[in-house]
A and B are shown apart, each in its own frame.
With several copies, the nearest count.
Chain A
Amino acid sequence: MKLITAVIKPYKLDEVKAALQSFGVHGLTVTEANGYGRQRGHTEVYRGAEYTIDLVPKVKLDLLVEDHDVETLLDVVSKAAQTGKIGDGKVWVTPVETVVRVRTGERGAEAL
């Protein structure tokens, strides 16, 4: 079992989800996030005080997958999230030892 984590541009969320569904993935956890990186932020002004905000809004996806799906889904996610512009984000994979479905207590593949 693996965990694919993706940090992408917010407005791409719907497309990534659509793409995943067409590959039979129906579960996904989403979190609001913000990122620092090459993509530059902006400056704001309030009564003579200028502030720079480097943080750029992103969304973070957590996706539990079976080992044999990792490569394909890694590909699906990064393709769907791609705009080709700086700030598209990252996708990474971490090992998972157990997964439990809270409702039933099922483990492993059955839990997804």
Chain B
Amino acid sequence: MPTLDTGNTAWVLASSALVLLMTPGLAFFYGGMVRAKSVLNMLMMNFICIAVVTVAWVLYGWSVSFGNANNASGNSIWGTLAQWGMHDINTGITGKADLYGSTGVPLFAVACFQLMFAIITPALISGAIADRTKFVGWTVYVCGWVTLIYFPVAHWVFSPNGFINAKLHVMDFAGGTAVHINAGAGALACALVIGRRVGFKRDPMRPHNVPFVMLGAALLWFGWFGFNAGSALTASGQASVVFMNTQVATCTAVIGWLAAEKIQHGKFTTVGAASGAVAGLVAITPACASVSPIGAIFVGLIPGFVCCYAVNMKWRFGFDDSLDVVGVHLVGGILGTLLIGLFAAPAEVAGYTNGARAGLFYGGGIDQLLAQSEGAGIVFGYSFTVSLILAFAVHKTIGLRVSEEDEVTGVDQTEHAETAYDWGGLSGALHRAAANVAAATAPPSVESITDPSTAEKAEVNP
């Protein structure tokens, strides 16, 4: 009977914090790429995911996804509602603690860890609809999306008894299907429903703050070690090789993307390096516990190179996936999931108990490749269909898109009544509105013609 393992628990808790940080990281990665007039809206689309998904998770999400995880014969399509509000989970403060499987990690720790996955998955979608999204509509979409799509899919893929995991013996260690293909499909659906930005293809839309793009990529990379190595739920040799594979694939993907960029445009760009890193992290996510470090070199290099070409699709086909969620997450997720079928190595595959086999290049034959394709196809099909319906429903009711005029003005101003930056040059031009809470005590009309040098006086009796 497993007892608490403080080392594994420490690693899962640390990993949970790391994965939480990925969402703000993503917000900066995306936020730096949009124009200065819509960076705050991008940050908010991500930030609100943290808020609403967490509430849904506590109330029913955890229960639906993992409520029956410790029950080998539990429903393979859907968890349970028995753990709604996480009300019956024993922390072990008194009595016997509820631990996750044989890991010696408290259920609550695993619940924290898995929550962070549920948060970042819908957040990934926001990149496809930058610059033009109605904040309220987006929030509603996210609530519906995790409920109808993420929670069940997470059960299928991550729960020991989920059918994609247990029945189809797909290897998806940290979410190539459940997270990236899933989010990519949702992003494509959203982009199609919401339509192109005003000036798409005509106007230049260059990143307003490339260092933020890099900062975001760095935070994502940092957090991703928790995402992948934390998914071992143990501080073990498996977690260690997963950590190494994550690092290796990310690096070769940077090289792959930069190479493709050099070929296409003759330059090695910063945005390209950051994008390559993300593409590599995406691709290695499902494969990190199936391949050796040598295999990881290819699981990074290939997606890095291919994704750099994939981001051109939106120009060719004319759908405005603004920040390339499809080109990076959907394509990268599919590649990572399928490459397992080629590069999965026996030594690592041994870590799976769901009957998965080694890859084609490692003598495992074609079976695993087929299994991986099946898993990828099912998740894409389900997610894209439901996302499309959901996005359409929200769009026609609450509305997912702001007016064209608001879009041209900038969603930061029109949706959030804020301006991202004020370097001070003209701040003398603002003044307090009459509606101001301070107005009662300090009529601007009077004060606004007071000279600073007499300020103290002007405030003698506020």
Contact = CB atoms under 8 A, between A and B. Distances in A.
Contact between chain A and chain B defined by CB under 8 Å: yes
Interface of A: 10-15, 17-19, 30, 32, 34, 42-55, 57, 59, 83
Interface in B278-293: none
B437 interface: yes
Contacts of A50: 265, 432-433, 435-437
A30 B425 CA distance: 11
Contacts of B272: 45, 47
What DSSP secondary structure best describes chain B's contact surface?
loop
B418 interface: yes
Contacts of B98: none
B430 A53 contact: yes
B432 A51 contact: yes
A83 to B, nearest CB: 6
A12 B431 CA distance: 12
Contact of A32 (B203, B426, B432, B436): B426
Nearest to A19: B449
Given A10-B426, A45-B265, A15 B449 contact: yes
Interface residues of B, number: 44
Contact of A48 (B315, B417, B453): B315
B286 to A, nearest CB: 24
Contacts of B312: 48
A11 B435 contact: no
Interface string B418-435: 110000111111111101
The 10 closest A-B pairs by CB, nearest first: A32-B425, A50-B433, A13-B428, A45-B265, A52-B433, A11-B428, A10-B428, A51-B430, A45-B417, A55-B429
A48 B311 contact: yes
A52 B424 CA distance: 16
Contacts, number: 105
Interface of B: 203-207, 261, 264-265, 267, 269, 271-272, 275, 308, 311-312, 315, 324, 408-409, 413-414, 417-419, 424-433, 435-438, 448-449, 451-453
A59 B431 CA distance: 16
A44 B419 CA distance: 8
Nearest to B427: A10
B351 to A, nearest CB: 36
A97 to B, nearest CB: 27
A42 B413 contact: yes
A46 B432 CA distance: 11
A12 B428 contact: yes
A55 B426 contact: yes
Contacts of A15: 448-449
Give the most central of A15, A42, A45, A47: most B CB within 10 Å: A47
A46 B207 contact: yes
A51 B426 contact: no
A46 B271 contact: yes
Given A11-B428, A43-B435, A53-B430, 17 more contacts: A10-B426, A15-B449, A30-B426, A30-B429, A32-B426, A44-B417, A44-B418, A47-B324, A48-B264, A48-B308, A49-B432, A49-B437, A51-B433, A53-B429, A54-B429, A55-B429, A59-B426
B425 A59 contact: yes
Contact of A18 (B261, B414, B427, B449): B449
Given A43-B417, A48-B311, A50-B265, A13 B433 contact: no
23 contacts: A12-B428, A15-B449, A17-B429, A32-B425, A42-B414, A44-B206, A44-B419, A45-B261, A46-B206, A47-B271, A47-B311, A47-B324, A48-B311, A48-B312, A48-B437, A49-B204, A49-B432, A50-B435, A51-B204, A52-B430, A53-B419, A57-B425, A59-B428
A23 to B, nearest CB: 14
Nearest to B431: A14
A52 B451 contact: no
